Every structure is written in structure tokens, then in C-alpha cells.
Chains A and B, each alone.
Chain A
Amino acid sequence: MDLFQRLLSQGNSFFAFGDTFAHAFEAAKPDADASEILNGALEIIKQSFEPEKMRDAANTVGGLWTFPLESWQRTANLLGDSAIKPLPNASLSDALGVFQQPLERVLSTPGLGYNRESQEQLQQYAKLKLHYQKASQAYSAAFADMGKRSIERLQDHIKQRTTKGESLITSARQLYDLWIDSSEEVYGEFVIGEEFVQLHGKLTNTLMALKQHEGRMLDDYLEFLNLPSRGEIDTLHRRFRDSRRETKTLQAQLNAVVERFKALQKALRRMEKQNKSEKAKKSRKNAGRKAKPKSGRKSHS
């Protein structure tokens, strides 16, 4: 099912891309310059990378650049319910930036009274959510920016094609493939740099911190209900693994002792056999000596 979804969503993105050009060329005046029509269509695609449009599910034309974000979202969802979707519109996202500091101050107010611990736990939870939200917004913004640059790179490639005298692009597919090449180039240049490494790290680490806090809250609740917590099960697993490791080590040592014992037994048997054959040899020799009359002894009978 997942594969069907992938095939369909990629198809949608490609359709929207082709459709943008078909419309642009159709709507243009007969004497309009093809380069201008093309650039106009590319400008439409570029606009789809504005933050509010990036978050619009109906925006399929810039879909190529939303797939990595969607893929992260799916992965984050699999890690638990805590995954937060990017804020639905730009104004909310901007508001988050403006109110972040005052909000953090409010959330840092010390807890008082009987419920102070759970209050502090919830405050911390809200803070961690904010941190993840901020990291997620920054990550999305970087993608929006790269998306815009991918269109500029595509325009550069088209220009270079003219100067190099390369073959004409006559299908939407050729143009789409060239956009994919341009996108990989722009992406590859950015993601190897320190800025992206930091963004990527923050995205993952803030989600993990949030999940960890959730886990602690859940563990507290399970203990309250007198049910086994994650921490307790981990302790059991750790002890089980330690015991198993010790058993395997002892087994290996025992095997080595058995092997040595077998080797010693073998050597002993060999020695015994050797001893026996030497004894037999000796006794045969002695028997031979006894049976042979001694020369020079005379009978006095």
C-alpha cells in the first residue's frame, strides 16, 4: 500500500509540474518568447516554496521538495504520538518565533504547592515541545530555501544548454529530470555543510529529548498504577543479558576445558599405548633371553 502511495504521490508531483508548463504555454500569446514563458512557469514553482505554501497539502507542484519532509514526518510519527506537525501557516510559525522567549520564561516559573512536581514536569514537557517545534520549523525553512535555489539552478542549466548547443528539451519529463539533477546538486552542496549538520542534529535531538520526557512521565504514571514501567523492564533485560553473557563465557571456558581434557586423555592413551608396547617389547626380549640356553654352562649330571 505504501508503494502505491509513493507511486501516486510522485505521479501527482510530476503532473502538477507538467501542468504548470502546459498552462503557461497555452495561456501565452502566440508571439510570446518561449524563454519568458518558461521563466514565468518556473517562477510559479519557485513561489510554491514560500513557507506558507510549503505547508499546504494541496501544493503538489513543489512536491519534489516536500517528500523528504513528509518522510521525516512519517518517521517521527512512528516514533510515537509526540511528533508535531509543522504549524499550518506562516503567521503561526512567525508567532512561535516572537513568543518563544516569553513563553519559555513562563514555563520556567517554579512550581509551588502540592502538585509542584507534576506542574514542573508539564512545564518541562511544553518547553521541550517548543524546542522541537522550533527545530522542525528551521529544518523546513532550509528545505524551502533549497527548493527555491533548485529552480535557480535549473534555470542556470537551461542557460548552459543554450551556450553548449545541447539538444532541445521537448518533454516535461526531460525538464523534470533536469530539475531532479539540479535539486540533488543544490541539496548535496548544502547538506554537507555545518549549517545543515546542526539543523539535522537539532531536529533529531530535540525530538529524542521530547520523547524521553514523555517516557518518564509515562513511567511515573505506570508506577502510580502499580504496573511495570519501561525502566523496570529495562533492568530485567539488562540482568538477563548479563546472565546470558556470563553463561556463554562459562560455556566457552567449559568447552575449552573439555577440549583440553580430551587432548590430555588422548595424549595419556597414546602414552599408555606406548608404555604397553615398550613393556611388551621388553618382556618379549626377556622371554627370549630366558628361553635361550646360556652358552658355556656345562651340565654336571
Chain B
Amino acid sequence: MSPVQLRPDRVTQEMLNYARKLGDGLAKLSKMGPIEAGVTPKQLVYQEDKLSLYRYRSPTKSGSRNPIPVIIVYALVNRPYMADLQENRSMVRGLLGAGLDVYLIDWGYPDRADRFLTLDDYINGYLDRCVDVVRHRHDLNAINLLGICQGGAFSLCYAAMHPKKIKNLITMVTPVDFRTDDNLLSRWVQEIDVDLAVDTLGNIPGELLNWTFLTLKPFRLMSQKYIDTVDVLDDEKAAKNFMRMEKWIFDSPDQAGEAFREFVKFFFQQNGLVRDLINLGGRDVRLRNIKMPVLNIYAKQDHLVPPAASTALRRLVGSRDYSELEFAGGHIGIYVSGKAQQQVPPSIGDWLDRRS
């Protein structure tokens, strides 16, 4: 007997049901109004060009338990509100709950005037000044740094160049070895003439990066996701969650041209973190100079940053206090899934408490 038993009447009925759900869902979406993201109250503490440094307010009156504040360094691609998407899906809220004093850098949306910003400007400039602001506010010599994805790579560079200013370093879904066999994104980037692209476009449009990310898994991300969504659109809460995520996915800032050129060349094409080839503003980036405690968190099913790309850090850092935390999920699930809320922020809080 064939394992496929389709009856035309049932298939027709299935299609009719789907069409009805799609119609109802679209009607509901059109009435939904604006979708808000970024939910935890925060205070602007420093601003420079398009960058903003925020400090989050603790939901409890007792405030933070840990005296050393932590700065979250997010990637330049996509927006940092992913770390604070909604009440029950907020890594920021989890970290505050774990007794941490949380700051976050929002890099903003670069425009043509920012086209000549370099990685040196971002890391030894903006990031360094944010670290100094927080150090002075708390009268501390060193603070904690939590880098996410590309922000993790920036944090590694920063910690290697300014080790005295960082007490503990946490990296999340951070690529270190960009030339592992399973790194599809890196494979594609090898043949891209990044000089030609930056010289032509100036800044790299967010849409171009988005297209690249979506084509890593096009059928799940461009098709199945939308077919599945139709099933949940009658549930307002689920529909809002979907819309919030959709807003984030397509909210992709353009990339400052020079910084993009350098990131692609130094990290993707030369694999400079592993091969000690990166020099920013006259300073060598050597991961062995990272001697402070390091917690490296990676996602087991990460299709953007494969685990092997992250765990390469183990053999490269100079720290004797290196720990890893494996999260059983993907690159996005690590911020927003229910499982992540229960596991990741409390683990970071515990790890930092033991080292503060």
C-alpha cells in the first residue's frame, strides 16, 4: 500500500480550511496595530553619534546583588531589542532577575555619514568609551562584558586589547573560528569581492544581509514558517509573538561600509582571530591576552554560528578560568525560547556571582 493516502475530497476540504484560516488571520493582523518590542524600563546614560548606552532598571526594589555591572554588546546586524523582546522572553529581564546591573549598547542605524567608521572606531572608540562611562559611574577599574554573536567577536577583540578594564567576559553564540567546515555563511563569503561591494554601495544595505541570512535555510524561513503561522493567527498572543519576531528579523540596519569590509576580510576571509592577524588602530588582537575568566555560551543547533566555530575559543584564550555552556537550541532560541529564559540568564548570574 502507498504510504500516501490522499483523498481528493479531504484535500479540497483541507485547502478550504486553510484558506478560511488565512483570511481570518489576515483580517486579525490588519487590526493588530503597532507592535512594540523592548519592554524593560531603561535609562539613557550615554550617547555618541548614533550610539546609545542604556542602563536597565531592576524590577525588584532591592536592585542588583552583584556589585560589578555588565555591558551587553550586541551585533551590528539586527537590533538589540532581541535581548528584551517581550515580558516573558527577555534575556535582559532574566539577567536583572539574577541580580545583575545591566547596561546595553545600541549601535543605532548608520547612514552614509557613517560610511567610513572602522572596526577600530567601533571597538577602541565607541565600545571603549562605553566601558569607561560605566567604570566611572561605578568607580571600578574593571567591569563585566557580555558579547552576543558579532558583538561577542567585538568583545573578544576588546578584552584582548584592554584586559585591565574587563573583570569577566561572557560570549554568546560568538563566532571565533570562521573557517569550520560546517560554516555555510563563511563558505559563501569567501568568493565575495567585499572591496567591490563596499566601494560600490558605500554602506551595505541591511536587506542584502537579510537575504543572505534567509537563504541559509530558505524553505523553512521563507515558506514553512508562514504556512505554520496561519495555524496560530487566531490566537492573539501567538500572533503578536509572531509579529514581534517578524519585525525584528526584517529590522536590519545598514552596515557602515569600512567596518563591514574589515569584518569580512579580517574575520571571515582571513580567519584573523584564530590566526592572530587582526590589528585595530595599531593594537594587535591576540586572544591569548584574554586572561580574565571567560564563559562561552553556544547553541547546539545554531545554523549561523556552528558550535565548532564558537568552541574554538577554548584553545585560543589565555584564561585559566574558561567555562562553556551548551544550550540545546538555535541561534535565535537562545534569547527568546522559554527554555533559554530558565537556563541562560540564571547560569550567567551564578557564574558571575562566583567571580565578583
Contacts and interface: CB of A to CB of B under 8 A. Distances in A.
Interface stretch (B52-60, B154-162, B222-230, B334-342): B222-230
Contact of B3 (A8, A13, A169, A230): A169
Contact of A71 (B7, B25, B214): B214
A191 B214 CA distance: 13
A237 interface: yes
A187 to B, nearest CB: 7
A200 B191 contact: yes
Contacts of A171: 6, 10-11, 14
Q: Which of B10, B113, B191, B201: most chain A CB closer than 10 A?
A: B191
Interface size range of chain B in the complex: 35 or more
Contacts of A78: 205, 207
Nearest to A11: B22
A295 B6 CA distance: 127
Interface string B172-210: 000000000010100110111100110111100101101
Contact of A172 (B1, B6, B222): B6
Contacts of A6: 222, 226
Given A25-B6, A34-B2, A192-B184, A2 B250 contact: yes
Nearest to A236: B113
A33 B4 CA distance: 11
A18 B205 contact: no
A172 B205 contact: no
B8 A22 contact: yes
B121 interface: yes
B67 interface: no
A15 B227 CA distance: 11
The secondary-structure label for the interface of chain A is helix
Contact of B26 (A7, A166, A209): A7
Contacts of B229: 7
A72 B151 CA distance: 27
B136 to A, nearest CB: 10
Contacts of B188: 191, 197, 200-201
B218 A187 contact: yes
B254 to A, nearest CB: 11
Interface of A: 2-4, 6-8, 10-11, 13-15, 18-19, 21-23, 25-26, 33-35, 38, 64, 67-68, 71-72, 74-75, 78-79, 158, 161-162, 166, 168-173, 175-177, 180, 183-184, 187-188, 191-192, 197-198, 200-202, 204-205, 208-209, 211-212, 215, 230, 233-234, 237-238, 240-242, 245, 248
Interface of B: 1-8, 10-12, 14-15, 18-19, 22, 25-26, 29-30, 112-113, 115-117, 121, 125, 182, 184, 187-188, 190-193, 196-197, 199-202, 205, 207-208, 210-211, 214-215, 217-220, 222-224, 226-227, 229-230, 243, 246, 250
22 contacts: A4-B30, A7-B229, A8-B26, A11-B22, A18-B11, A26-B8, A67-B223, A71-B222, A75-B207, A78-B205, A79-B201, A158-B4, A172-B15, A173-B18, A180-B224, A197-B188, A201-B188, A208-B201, A209-B200, A212-B200, A215-B200, A241-B117
